[in-house]
Amino acid sequence: MNTGSLSRERKLLLHAFQKKAGLRFRSLELLNLSFTHRSCANEDTSHSQNNERLEFLGDAVLGLVAASCLYERLGERAEGELARIKSYVVSEEVLSELAKALKLDEYILLGKGEEQSGGREKKAILADAAEALFGAYYLDSGFEVASRFVRALVEPEVDKVLQNRHHKDYKTMLQEYAQKYRRTYPLYRLMKKTGPDHDRTFWVNCELAGAEYGPAMGKNKKEAEQSAAQAAYDAIIASGGLEAARMLQIENQ
């Protein structure tokens, strides 16, 4: 593996990370590779590889650990419910938050362009780094050791779902309500974009059954649509006359 010679400073940083995260890698080069974003590998010849292959592997490790955890803890639940909880636990939203908790943003190696565009705060980059870390730990120390580490991260997220403390996917909840009780679909319309290219804010309206909600904002179109869906869903709940929405809220717990 040609990842370049690690500097003394970088080795100290990686050792500090392991101590904080409760990890022990045999290969610091492999750990470092899990933090190497493709933008860095493209710009810096000392990094001939990036973390995308490790991310691919880590995604499989995470999926198996999450599925095993749910099967063991919720053996009486239907397959569809297990799949729903798993989709939340392995989502970009959750992984990016786990990455922040592990402070991966402090160790990721980025190219200058990605650094200047706020790459350390991008959910996709953080989530990918978390998966790459899982894949690297699996290669370095085996599945049993890696699965213990991943499971310790996954189980609290499962608990959040079971206790209804998790992040709600309002777009999915609103669409299910609209299909089931209104026989239609919510529509999202981009109203405007503000700010410079590297720091855009998106404004989106949600239209449902003749009513319009928003505009709601987000740092990307996906976030803005979620915000608009939440505004619509909250308005439906607040109207008091739509018990169907409340029933769906219960079903999604």
Kindly list the catalytic residues. Answer: 59, 131
- How many Å apart are CA 152 and CA 159, to the nearest integer? 12
**What is the rounded CA–CA span in Å between residue 30 and residue 25?**
8
* Mode of pairing for the β-strands spanning 201-208 and 211-218: antiparallel
Contacts of 50 (CB under 8 A, 6+ apart): 33, 36, 37, 38, 40, 41, 42
* Lateral strand order in the sheet of 201-208: 187-194, 201-208, 211-218
Q: Which residues contact 15 (CB under 8 A, 6 or more apart)?
A: 28
* Rounded CA Rg of the chain: 21
The total number of residues shown for the chain amounts to 253
